[in-house]
Amino acid sequence: MLISFALAMKILHIDSEKSWRGGENQVLLLSLLLVRRGHQVAVACPPDSELAKRAAERGITIEPLPMRGEFDLRAGYKLARLIKRKGYQVAHCHSAHAHSVGIIASKVTRIPALIVSRRVDFPVGEKGWLNSYKYEAPDKFIAVSTGVKEVLIKGGIAEEKVVVVHSGIDLRRFENIDPLEELYKEFQLKGEEKVVGIVAALAPHKDYPNFLRAARIVVDRLPQVRFLIVGEGKEAGRLRRLTAELGLGDSVIFTGFREDIPRLLSLFDVFVISSYLEGLCTSILDAMAAGVPVVATETGGIPDLVKDEENGILVPPRDPKRLAEGVLRLLNDSGLAQGMVKAGHSTVRRFSAEQMAKKTEEVYRSALGEK
């Protein structure tokens, strides 16, 4: 349902990333849903970014804004002029560099509501006048999980400034999945193997070595299991070398970046997240929506999604043995796995993109009302 246009806001999303990851997908989802709710929405981002391309294809207004480095004065001044000229009421920063550029813009012109999304549970940077202002100036911080909120408050941000709005997913993506025969052929699977997979950027905090060492333990017990690593990133070369060192060359498949995540998840018998730091991880929600039982590390915002022994299995981070044990339990106990799938379906309905958009809109109105 559309809101009354009398209540519509002019909203500018700001994102500095050129690549396509979970954060950029959230920006696009949120923009589309806010438009549907009657607001005027634009996205300021690098003109050669994947977000600019995808948002433009979906009819979202793009404001080209190259951002070079964390404190890009030129980008900050350009953003300030844009906000003033077009009368944006809400400037919502979605990445670390966007946050810094938004702070510069706020020094140049009045921004009615400056909002910053925080998607990672990394500690807030060291104190100093510049960093202090960076975290004092925003009107509201949107934390994607309780764990992220706790990190922000521990870093000195006033609790009343921090609101938890969980990231959401588009559940319609998991309807009418195409047949999987082509995927079996692509990955040289016979359809008889058990498949354990992970969907995440190949980044250090995702702790893929933990996943691979757990895979070694699983293969020693169940040699026919195959492991899919879905994602790309700077760690790819290192992880391929570790795969060879562990003797897993015939058991691990690196798929690279994929657009067909719902189809790929339909191949999985178990979904794994092995991170030692994690803001929330919407890939877990994707797995639940696809009907795949989850084993995840108990870190960051993951416990907001996974309740141990209810809708998934939680294990300590950096513990391959416990990770492998969780995977083996689900592979060997179909009743346990199906019970967790059923509970996961109930969970994921509470984390829809529509709920995320509605709660984000409430944050905007709260910030504007406090001015």
Q: What is the pLDDT of residue 1?
A: 39
Distances (CA, A) of 17 to 80, 157, 195, 333: 19, 25, 32, 42
CATH of 171-350, one of 3.40.140.10, 3.40.30.10, 3.40.50.2000, 2.30.110.10: 3.40.50.2000
**What is the rounded average pLDDT of the residues 301-329?**
98
**What is the rounded average pLDDT of the residues 303-324?**
98
Query: What is the location of CATH 3.40.50.2000 in the chain?
Result: 5-168+352-369, 171-350
270-299 tens-digit pLDDT? 999 999 999 999 999 999 999 999 999 999
What CATH number belongs to 5-168+352-369?
Answer: 3.40.50.2000
The share of the chain scoring above pLDDT 90, in percent, equals 89
54-71 tens-digit pLDDT? 999 999 999 999 998 778
Using 50, 70 and 90 to split pLDDT, how confident is the model at 128? low
Length of the chain in terms of residues written: 371
Give start and end residues of each alpha helix (H) in 93-174: 96-108, 129-136, 146-154
CA dihedral 286, 291, 293, 296 (to 10 degrees): 10
Q: What is the pLDDT of residue 70?
A: 78
The two three-digit tokens of residue 194, written as one number: 């058990």
Nearest to 247 by CA among 216, 202, 222: 216
Three-state SS letters, 116-135: EEECCCCCCCCCCHHHHHHH
Distances (CA, A) of 303 to 32, 266, 297, 315, 341: 28, 24, 9, 11, 17
Answer yes or no: are the C-beta atoms of 269 and 194 closer than 8 Å.
yes
